[in-house]
Amino acid sequence: MTDDSIHAAQRLTSVRAAIDRVARLTDRNGDAINLIAISKTQDAAAIRPLIAAGQRVFGENRVQEAQDKWPALREAHADIALHHVGQLQSNKATEAVALFDVIHGLDRPSLLTALARAMDAAGRRIPCYIQVNIGAEPQKGGCAIADTPALIAVARSADIPLLGLMCVPPADVEPAPYFALLAKMAREQGLPRLSMGMSGDFETAIMLGATDVRIGTALFGERQAPARPVPGSGRGMIRNAPAR
């Protein structure tokens, strides 16, 4: 095994052990928690070691990026499931339906209409999560809390299979109240699954009912920030700036 393969296997084992440990505290088996490896911005060389270590569920947030790298990766591994986890543009609905197995970002009527048409045209139904803007943050995607029941009702009438609710809590605050609120909303709507929890808070999310956790950094390591100009130089670049 190469060093990359060893490190990938170690990281995957560590994350799965944490999932198992916390799941037991909620009287669940760790196998009931779906681990989605968030591979956005990662190239095929970074993804292959995780595949070799046994990971089979991956998440991307850009349709074009996923189209560029996943068809070749899936040729050798037909059992891989690919999830779209970012905000999806309505004009990318056809491509998303063709490529992804699950969509986590259904958050507005216009996207719902586009997805329903794309599913009808493709003759396949793609399971979706309704993304809720759980912190009422204007800069984030997601359906407003008050509008979520209506969007769920329209999705059901359009025969879009709904798995559950998804959220991204506000950064740098305690996420537990937001996870608890999402779980309450899902129960009220009879939705069984909760896509919530990332590298820094997935254990809290599992304690509060998460069925799907979206893990990037803990599996792939810290992403390098893009290079930026040296102040005042206009030419030079500072490399490897700390990720925020």
Question: 3-state SS string over the chain?
Answer: CCHHHHHHHHHHHHHHHHHHHHHHHCCCCHHHCEEEEECCCCCHHHHHHHHHCCCCEEEECCHHHHHHHHHHHHHCCCCCEEEECCCCCHHHHHHHHHHCCEEEEECCHHHHHHHHHHHHHHCCCCCEEEEECCCCCCCCCCECHHHHHHHHHHHHHCCCCEEEEECCCCCCCCCHHHHHHHHHHHHHHCCCEEECCCCCCHHHHHHCCCCEEEECHHHHCCCCCCCEECCCCCCCEECCCCCC
Q: What is the pTM of this model?
A: 0.90
Interval 80-96 mean pLDDT: 97
Q: How many domains does the chain have?
A: 1
Tell me the two tokens of residue 68. 């560029």
Q: Confirm whether 239 is domain-assigned.
A: no
Distance (Å, whole) CA 125 – CA 118? 9
The CATH number assigned to the domain holding 88 equals 3.20.20.10
The strand pairing partners of 129, in sequence order, are 164
For residue 209, name the pLDDT band (cuts at 50, 70, 90): very high
Q: Confirm whether 64 is domain-assigned.
A: yes
The strand pairing partners of 197, in sequence order, are none
The strand pairing partners of 102, in sequence order, are 83
Q: Confirm whether 97 is domain-assigned.
A: yes
Q: Confirm whether 177 is domain-assigned.
A: yes
Least confident of 16-25, 215-224, 231-240: 231-240
What is the reported pLDDT for 4? 79
Average confidence score pLDDT of the chain: 92
Tell me the pLDDT tens digit for each residue of 120-150: 999 999 999 999 999 999 999 999 999 999 9
For residue 234, name the pLDDT band (cuts at 50, 70, 90): very low
Q: Confirm whether 92 is domain-assigned.
A: yes
Residues in the chain: 244
Evaluate if residue 228 carries a pLDDT over 90. no
Q: Confirm whether 241 is domain-assigned.
A: no
Distance of CA 228 to the CA centre of its chain: 28
Q: Confirm whether 113 is domain-assigned.
A: yes
Angle value at C-alpha 33, between 139 and 111, nearest 5 degrees = 35
By residue range, what is the domain housing residue 62? Answer: 3-220
Q: Confirm whether 14 is domain-assigned.
A: yes
